[in-house]
Chains A and B, each alone.
Chain A
Amino acid sequence: MRKLRIVKDKTARLLMLGFAIFTIMFLIVIGLSLFFKALPIMREKNLWFLLTSSSWKPFKGDFGFLPFIVSTIYVSLIAIFIALPFSILTSIYLNSYASKRIRRFFEPVVDLLSGIPPVIYGVWGTLTIVPLISNKIAPRFVEFSTGYTVLAGGIVLAVMIIPLLISIMVEVFRSIPVVMTDASLSLGATKWQTVKKVILRKSFPGIIAATVLALSRAFGETMAVLMVCGNIPQIPKSFFDACYPLPALIANNYGEMLSMPSYESALMFAAFLLFVIVVLFNGASRFTLNQIEKRYQFS
């Protein structure tokens, strides 16, 4: 009887260790399998050509990823530029100004925004943002725009990453020791001065880490962006041109390309590229955020 208990415990331990190793391996397996799937195209053309050529003619064997890479970067940067001020201001407000009741009220708002599925954001974008750009904003700058543009993608994406930014930044701001803000306040600084000179300065690494994390989320967002950004493989010349980010490229073409091995490999290359960038960005920012959290625990 007593032995059985021990055996159970030992088996459970081994099994659990197995799961833990499986989880670590899983990350490596995804990376490796995408890499090997992408290998044929990297052998065929050289890596530099794939990344810098802008000629995308799959049926002639031209796979230049530059338009897609540039589109991804444009859309994500617009999203960050729009989302960052809103998120910083709101998180400061929630952290240093708002009463407990307002904070309680705002929690589900952030939760819901982050819970709304990408497709719904896409529907909303096509219903509101796209016509807004095509009818109101674009005519002021260019002659004609369908509304399915870089800007539309950026705006929709901005709304999608705001909840992520807010939830991380609130954590970061909270990790600043109360003693510091109290010292500043007791010296006669106003709340805003304290925010500006103490909180923002002290949490700068955290804000950068949150931004990088949000950026990597933006890089990989598929459905919502695909629905509003036009999907034309070109290097966008202005905010009012259509664009074609990497995830949209994969989503739109993956089902049909099985007959052409080099096309499949090219799309896998896109997935691999996305994977590598996201893992690097995520790794770096999570590492920074973990350091901040640790400092908080011991302070």
Chain B
Amino acid sequence: MKQFEEKVFRIIMIGAALIILGVLIYIVGTIFFKGLPSLTWDMITKVPGGGFYLGKEGGVLNAIVGSVYIIFGALALSLIISVPLVMYINFYLPGGSLFSNIVRFCLDILYGVPSIVYGAFGFALMVYLGIRASLTGGIITVAMLIMPIMMRSFDEVARLLSRDLPDALLSLGATRYEMVKVILKQLMPGLITAVLLAIGRGIGDAATVLFTAGYTDNIPTSLSQPAATLPLSIFFQLGSPVEEVQNRAYASAIILTMIILILSFSARYFSSKFLKTRI
């Protein structure tokens, strides 16, 4: 009897795992199947032409470039804060100090705050500062979203670093600041993983840029101009009643999915350099 139960549950469990795998394949498959026929070079090399939203010529270069601008701006902004912060709570403060635990707890909560709340807060902040929907607004809001992601995953790597290295450096007479500079080199693969994860989350999120970055058919040339983003471009094209435009939404979805796949696998590559695999 108990052997029978064992077998039944083993099959159910394998079934559950296979269904999850199947759903992933189903999602990626659906996107590719629907989008491939409309995926052309024009999609990624041209900005929307005159009749783009009626199904005529053009592509989504504006959205691709806009997304890239925003994510790199946000990345720069959040790196400036994340790296020193993680170094501080790990290597300046003594291990297990109350303050670093409080900071970590706050990061955990910030990580869970929905992107739409960041979007609403970012917009309120922009109104307060008198900034219109623009590249600047998008960069600031996306930076708020990806900062906790970056800090948390970088912190996880930093915590795993053996204590020998910092201790050796300190005993050689280095100041903590000099010590951190050496440690950072050691932690580079971990930082790269954290950055790639943050890019993946930031580039795919629509709710943060919905009100803060605006939307335009042109490639922005200054920080005060609005910028299109890939997720929003997919969303708007999908809302069109014209079939060609909807098909282009699927093609744009392939572009976004490809970006995410590449980011995810490179993040995995860098983290496998640093960590023994988890799960």
Contact = CB atoms under 8 A, between A and B. Distances in A.
A108 interface: yes
A30 B113 contact: yes
Contacts of A116: 27, 204, 257, 260
B94 interface: no
B123 A254 contact: yes
A275 B13 contact: no
Contact of A33 (B23, B88, B121): B121
Contacts of A282: 108-109, 112-113
B235 A122 contact: yes
B3 interface: yes
Given A123-B238, A127-B34, A107 B279 contact: yes
A172 B12 CA distance: 21
Interface residues of A, number: 90
A30 B113 CA distance: 10
A166 to B, nearest CB: 8
A27 B161 CA distance: 28
Interface stretch (A136-144, A175-183, A214-222, A233-241): A214-222
Contact of B106 (A24, A118, A166, A193): A24
B279 A106 contact: yes
Contact of B268 (A85, A108, A123, A251): A108
Interface residues of B, number: 88
Contact of A275 (B117, B205, B279): B117
B264 A220 contact: no
Given A90-B20, A123-B31, A115 B117 contact: no
Contacts of A9: 175-178
A221 B103 contact: no
Interface of B: 2-3, 5-6, 9-10, 12-17, 19-21, 23-24, 26-28, 30-31, 34, 81, 84-85, 87-89, 92, 99, 102-103, 105-110, 112-121, 123-125, 127, 144, 151, 175-178, 180, 200-201, 203-207, 210-211, 231, 234-235, 238, 249-250, 253, 256-257, 260-261, 263-265, 267-268, 277-279
